[in-house]
A and B are shown apart, each in its own frame.
Chain A
């Protein structure tokens, strides 16, 4: 079905270089996840796998990355796996932002988007799944 067809899902994601040229320093790393600061746009890039063992890193990285006081762009195209606790962590981080600021997810794998809809978290005004050029 077109709205969130899952047939386009491939594991592994894309390289970040095309989409996020401003890749910067690492703000978090463990054996299955690397989070890097990006500058153009301002935000973070998540690569690897998020599950119950490291989903705390989502909120930690977002709050500690000293991001400018505007919308936060998060690149997730290289997120091979994200469990429910990880999605919940993105939702919580979006909810914790001051009013008017949003968390924009770029490169969301279709399968993850499906999960967000299944658990009903697609109605959060502060969490936006971007479908812009390049996603």
Chain B
């Protein structure tokens, strides 16, 4: 008998759903959700508000058995999505049940910077759940709206691919080792008006001062200035404490964003370092915190050392400004 959405999974199944248009989206997702509801599995759907409305209408009374969350809240910064899924899995696995989820982190309108980090997120999901909790995550990709290169990457980051009726392993999947390997995709060249400084243990205050001045000049509000300054401080402190004792800081404005970067000669060897908070209260928290405080964080392990970029959008898109606070709440 062939695979269907009624089948229970015995380990983590990370599957891309390639759909073309809304009818196709519903034809793929509704049987998946119903399969979970009928088996008594907790189901969490993280989608856009408009797709959630569609799914609710189509599911009718079954919608009451499903938890919905707006991806614009949970995943504006895609590095906050894995903690949210882990929270969901941890909460329900204690009851010994299988779980299901739908998550669509990539939509038309993601900026090029966000897209790269969403794709990294998709790869890291395999790492985050490699320990084998039996749950099924379906990641819809709109083949009509997306560039073909995005669909190609979905085939590399997902071990399984379906169109809703036929199920197969992805021949292009890059494998767990490659998913967990240090990320070294090049970063774009900074914009004009960049300022930089070299810092050490005694000059963290200078880094904070420069970041705070740039953030104020860029027109960020007081709480977002404070968030950026704290994130910058923690990442720079990592360089001083773990990354060779000093670092290089630079900050600039691009279209729609205030961006800065901390480089050092250290090496990040935990692929999920910025998306898991260790129970150990003395463990490093800087990169995790940066993801809670900033709109987007990019971490690269380069031959010469680490590069961490922090971005604050200057004019938050609809849903984004609120997303920041909801993101923290949902994780707590």
Contact = CB atoms under 8 A, between A and B. Distances in A.
Contacts of B293: 118
Contact of B332 (A52, A111, A117): A117
A51 to B, nearest CB: 5
B230 A53 contact: no
Contact of A119 (B223, B237, B289): B289
A121 B277 CA distance: 12
A113 B298 CA distance: 26
Interface residues of A, number: 27
Given A9-B223, A83-B234, A119 B328 contact: no
Contacts of A51: 204-205, 208, 233, 237
Interface string B258-295: 00000000000000000001000110011001001100
Contacts of B202: 53
B233 to A, nearest CB: 5
B204 A53 contact: yes
Given A118-B292, A119-B285, A120-B277, A52 B226 contact: no
Contact of B289 (A32, A49, A88, A115): A115
A120 B283 CA distance: 13
Interface in B226-273: 226-227, 229-230, 233-234, 237, 240-241
Given A84-B234, A118-B289, A111 B241 contact: no
B289 A85 contact: no
Contact of B205 (A1, A49, A85, A111): A49
Interface in A64-115: 81, 83-85, 88, 91, 109-111, 114-115
A6 B292 CA distance: 14
A10 B222 contact: yes
A11 B226 contact: yes
A1 B325 CA distance: 7
A7 interface: yes
Contacts, number: 73
Nearest to B200: A53
Interface majority SS (helix, strand, loop, mixed), chain B:
helix
A9 B281 CA distance: 26
B277 A81 contact: no
Nearest to A121: B281
Nearest to B227: A111
Interface in B312-329: 325-326, 328-329
A118 B325 CA distance: 11
Nearest to B237: A52
Contacts of A91: 281
Nearest to B208: A81
B221 interface: yes
Contacts of B281: 88, 91, 121
Contact of B201 (A1, A53, A84, A115): A53
Interface string B197-216: 00001101100100000000
Contact of B282 (A1, A88, A111): A88
Contact of B328 (A49, A52, A114, A121): A114
A104 to B, nearest CB: 21
B285 A84 contact: yes
Interface in A1-16: 1, 6-7, 9-11
Contacts of A88: 281-282
B223 A110 contact: yes
23 contacts: A6-B222, A6-B226, A6-B325, A7-B222, A9-B222, A9-B223, A9-B226, A11-B222, A32-B205, A49-B205, A51-B208, A52-B201, A81-B229, A83-B233, A83-B237, A84-B237, A84-B286, A84-B289, A91-B281, A117-B328, A118-B293, A118-B328, A118-B332
Interface of B: 201-202, 204-205, 208, 221-223, 225-227, 229-230, 233-234, 237, 240-241, 277, 281-282, 285-286, 289, 292-293, 325-326, 328-329, 332
